């Protein structure tokens, strides 16, 4: 049970990067996991698409723009999804 | 869910040695520690890790006993795991983690360290540990924190330190800890022996919930705090190991392979050894791993329960420790006909002293 991201934990402005001890593991096109301290999170395709773009320089807006271009989708919807995913991962200390 | 194909193991716990310089009464290690003295060699551990990687394991946890009592083995294990792209986690009490050792582990690819403390104050911490080690632990925490490796601080809770949760949180704040685990004792092995000494009161547990909720709110985004309740006070059992033989395996110091770190207590199963069989066969086909895999083994009330794939019937080891039959519903479940035993156990009068965890105790 987690609250949705609020203004205090805004992920809008800063470049996103993985916290220490967190990394992405992918196998082929279908399998992706986020390896975190003492756990393994199974990632679906959309979470993987976002997390593959986290590189320490891109912001939420950068990532949403790239995905909008790639999937020819409306940027506002994508932005909402990216904010929601990254907000919850940041709250759990997996992204900074 | 009938599993004709074994699922993929994600996580391997390597218990490198059961030796430890501490004597914590809440240790889940088996009571017959000296039966595990014939420890695997470094190259055997490396082979275990390579076999685990072939099976799909993504994370290796290095623990014990105290794993850094075998410092070179830890290093060899980190090297093998890193070579295979596996995430490595060192679970230690920190008393031997000096600068040089830590730097070597990090250079070899160590991803995460978990350090445990016994209490927030030296006197009580050392009393529980049975050794003067608290100050050294604090130095180890600072050492890890100041380096480029992730750190989780852990404090195992029980009746004697449960009221000090606010001070543990303060200590974690002082060290800038990002991840704090306040986990109540799980009652296996030595902890089961010391159950009535360790058991927190219901009032302590309820107060703990309030303390953690407040701290979580206050420290949101700065520190993640996990609070694990003792399941003696819960209505539903924990989803132990996310199912027997489903995602986790443990290799003990002498090479015995267990579906759960506490499973050696189950004397009705025969557990195989990596010296005699390939890990893949043990995981996929051995009797011990298939015994409680999936849902086909379940008795009622589990069999027809809507939660059967949420908590998998709870913990097999707890069913064995408390009821003497690993194939029964975990008594922590409110639907178990033995559930009253849990409340009864939580009201036992605590003895004045605990039994310290010792390797020689079982030989006397």
Reported as a single tens digit per residue, the pLDDT across B43-94 is 999 999 999 999 999 999 999 999 999 999 999 999 999 999 999 999 999 9
pLDDT at position A2 is 37
B179 contacts A93? CB cut-off 8 A? yes
Q: What values do phi and psi take at A34, rounded to 5?
A: -105, 115
Q: How many helices (H) and strands (E) does chain B have?
A: 14, 9
A95 and B CB contact within 8 Å: no
- Segment B14-22 mean pLDDT: 97
B-contacting residues in A 64-93 (Cβ below 8 Å): 90-93
Average pLDDT, chain A: 86
Name the closest residue on chain B to residue A37, using Cα atoms.
B112
B116 and A CB contact within 8 Å: no
- Segment B319-329 mean pLDDT: 95
* B288: its two tokens: 């011990």
Cis amide leading into B78 (omega within 30): no
Model confidence at B6, in pLDDT bands (50, 70, 90)?
confident
Model confidence at B359, in pLDDT bands (50, 70, 90)?
confident
B85 and A CB contact within 8 Å: yes
B220 contacts A19? CB cut-off 8 A? no
All residues of chain A having their beta carbon less than 8 Å from the beta carbon of residue B11 are 40
Q: Looking up tokens 């159950």, which residue turns up? A: B195
pTM: 0.93
- B113: closest CA of chain A, how far (Å): 8
DSSP state of B268: T
Name the H helices within chain B.
Answer: 42-55, 71-83, 99-108, 122-129, 134-145, 165-174, 189-193, 195-198, 202-218, 279-285, 287-290, 308-311, 316-323, 340-346
Q: Which of A89-93, B33-37, B46-50 has the lowest mean pLDDT?
A: A89-93
Alpha-carbon distance B347 to B364, whole Å? 30
Percent of chain B with pLDDT over 70: 98
- Segment B140-169 mean pLDDT: 97
Q: Mutation target for B interface from A37, A41, A42, A94: give the one with most B CBs within 10 A.
A: A37
pLDDT at position A96 is 87
- B189: closest CA of chain A, how far (Å): 22
pLDDT surpasses 70 at B300 = yes
B111 and A CB contact within 8 Å: yes
A19 and B CB contact within 8 Å: yes
pLDDT at position A12 is 59
A37 and B CB contact within 8 Å: yes
All residues of chain B having their beta carbon less than 8 Å from the beta carbon of residue A91 are 220-221, 224
Which helix (H) or strand (E) is A75 found in, with range? helix A75-91
A33 and B CB contact within 8 Å: yes
Residue among A20, A38, A91 minimizing CB distance to B221:
A91
pLDDT at position A1 is 36
pLDDT surpasses 70 at B364 = no
- Segment A82-93 mean pLDDT: 90
pLDDT surpasses 50 at B160 = yes
pLDDT surpasses 90 at B362 = no
Percent of chain B with pLDDT over 90: 93
Is residue B149 within 8 A of residue B110, CB to CB? The reply is yes
B61 contacts A20? CB cut-off 8 A? no
Q: What is the number of CB-based contacts under 8 A between chain A and chain B? A: 54
Q: Looking up tokens 């927190």, which residue turns up? A: B200
Model confidence at B4, in pLDDT bands (50, 70, 90)?
low
Q: Which of A12-16, B55-59, B316-320 has the lowest mean pLDDT?
A: A12-16
- B111: closest CA of chain A, how far (Å): 5
pLDDT digits (tens, 9 = 90+) for A37-81: 989 999 999 999 999 999 999 999 999 999 999 999 899 988 999
B114 contacts A37? CB cut-off 8 A? yes
All residues of chain A having their beta carbon less than 8 Å from the beta carbon of residue B85 are 25
pLDDT at position B361 is 52
Alpha-carbon distance B15 to B261, whole Å? 9
């Amino acid at each position: 049970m987690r609250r949705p991201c609020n203004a205090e934990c805004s992920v809008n402005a800063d470049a996103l990067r993985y916290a220490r001890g967190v990394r992405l593991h992918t196998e082929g096109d279908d399998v992706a996991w986020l390896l975190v301290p003492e756990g393994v999170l199974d990632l679906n395709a959309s979470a993987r698409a976002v997390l593959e773009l986290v590189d320490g320089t891109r912001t939420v807006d950068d990532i949403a723009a790239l995905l909008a271009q790639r999937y020819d989708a409306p940027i506002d919807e994508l932005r909402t999804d990216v904010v929601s995913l990254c907000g919850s991962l940041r709250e759990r200390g997996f992204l900074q | 869910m009938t599993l004709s194909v074994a699922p993929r193991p994600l996580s391997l716990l390597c218990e490198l040695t059961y030796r430890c310089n501490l004597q914590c009464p809440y240790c889940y290690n088996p009571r017959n520690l000296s039966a595990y003295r014939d420890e695997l060699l470094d190259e055997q551990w490396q082979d275990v890790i390579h076999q685990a990687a072939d099976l799909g394991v993504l994370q290796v946890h290095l623990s014990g006993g105290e794993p850094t009592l075998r410092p070179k083995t830890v290093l060899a294990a980190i090297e093998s795991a890193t070579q295979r792209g596996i995430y490595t986690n060192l679970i230690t009490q920190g008393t031997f983690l000096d600068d040089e050792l830590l730097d070597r582990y990090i250079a070899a690819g160590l991803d995460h360290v978990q350090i445990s403390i016994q209490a927030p104050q030296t006197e009580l911490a050392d009393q529980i540990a049975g050794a003067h080690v608290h100050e050294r632990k604090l130095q180890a925490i600072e050492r890890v924190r100041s380096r480029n490796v992730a750190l989780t601080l852990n404090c195992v809770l029980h009746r004697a330190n449960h009221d000090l949760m606010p001070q543990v949180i303060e200590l974690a704040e002082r060290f800038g800890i990002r991840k704090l685990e306040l986990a109540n004792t799980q009652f296996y092995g030595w902890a089961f022996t010391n159950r009535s000494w360790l058991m927190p009161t219901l009032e302590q547990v309820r107060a703990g919930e309030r303390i953690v909720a407040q701290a979580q709110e206050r420290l949101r985004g700065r520190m993640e705090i996990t609070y694990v309740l003792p399941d003696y006070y819960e209505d539903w059992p924990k989803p132990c190991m996310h199912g027997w033989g489903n995602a986790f395996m443990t290799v003990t110091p002498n090479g015995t392979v267990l579906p759960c770190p506490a499973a050696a207590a189950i004397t009705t199963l025969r557990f195989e050894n990596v010296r005699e069989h390939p890990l893949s066969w043990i995981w996929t086909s051995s009797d011990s791993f298939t015994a409680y895999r999936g849902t086909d083994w379940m008795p009622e009330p589990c069999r027809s329960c809507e939660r059967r794939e949420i908590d998998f019937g709870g913990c097999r080891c707890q069913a064995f420790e408390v009821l003497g039959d690993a194939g029964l519903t975990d008594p922590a479940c409110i639907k178990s006909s033995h559930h009253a035993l849990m409340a009864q156990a939580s009201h036992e009068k605590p003895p004045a002293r605990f039994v310290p965890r010792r390797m020689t105790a079982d030989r006397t």
